[in-house]
Amino acid sequence: MEKHGAPTPTDLTDVAWRISTKSENGGGSCVEAGPLADGSGRIAVRHSHHPDGQVILYTRAEWDAFIGGVKDGEFDFPTR
The amino acid that residue 21 corresponds to is T
Flag whether 57 is in a domain: yes
Number of domains in the chain: 1
DSSP 28: S
Summary mean pLDDT of the chain:
84
What are the residues facing 6 on neighbouring strands?
A: none
What are the tens digits of pLDDT across the range 5-27? Answer: 667 666 788 899 998 877 766 56
What are the tens digits of pLDDT across the range 45-63? Answer: 998 888 888 899 999 999 9
Flag whether 2 is in a domain: no
Flag whether 77 is in a domain: no
The amino acid that residue 14 corresponds to is D
Q: Which domain holds residue 63?
A: 9-21+28-71
The pTM of this model reads 0.77
List, in sequence order, every beta strand (DSSP E) within the chain.
Answer: 18-19, 31-35, 43-47, 55-58
